[in-house]
Amino acid sequence: MNAAEQATSLESASKIATITNLVKTDFPDARVDLKPWANDPDTRELIDPDSIDIGFHFPGRSRLFQCRSVLVQIRFHSDSETQVRRAIGIEAAGFDHKGKQWQFSTVQNWRFEGEGQPAPEAAARLKTFCQRVLEIFNQTS
């Protein structure tokens, strides 16, 4: 679900703002998009309400990242007994004018898959970013 729609409490809005600042710090050329999904019936049918989706776009196709845009989906699980919502993983994908170039998941083995993969230094930056995002959403208040 679009990050802009998930900012329903002070806590979630604060964490989303922190992630936005991380993107600006870690990927200074990128522009953050808190509404990466279109608001049409077909797209809304595919949206996971237990996720926060953020996109970021480079000014052109990034040779380091082998894409122009990155979609980051932070996945959550809510424990019905304890009422605790935890981030359980991140799915990310890089896109350009040809479509999806690569995908990455912290749920599996933290490896990139796809046709065009980021350069090693870009992959390491994205992995570090994902680790920090998971820490932000799973810290206890």
Q: Which residue has the tokens 């953020």?
A: 54
pLDDT digit string, tens, across residues 21-67? 999 999 999 999 887 765 645 545 555 667 888 999 999 999 999 99
**16: helix, coil or strand?**
helix
Name the pTM for this structure. Answer: 0.84
So what's the pLDDT on residue 139? 82
Residues 36, 69: Cα–Cα separation, whole Å: 10
What is the tens place of the pLDDT at every residue in 99-133? Answer: 999 999 998 789 999 988 999 999 999 999 999 99
Contact (Cβ atoms closer than 8 angstroms) between residue 110 and residue 118: no
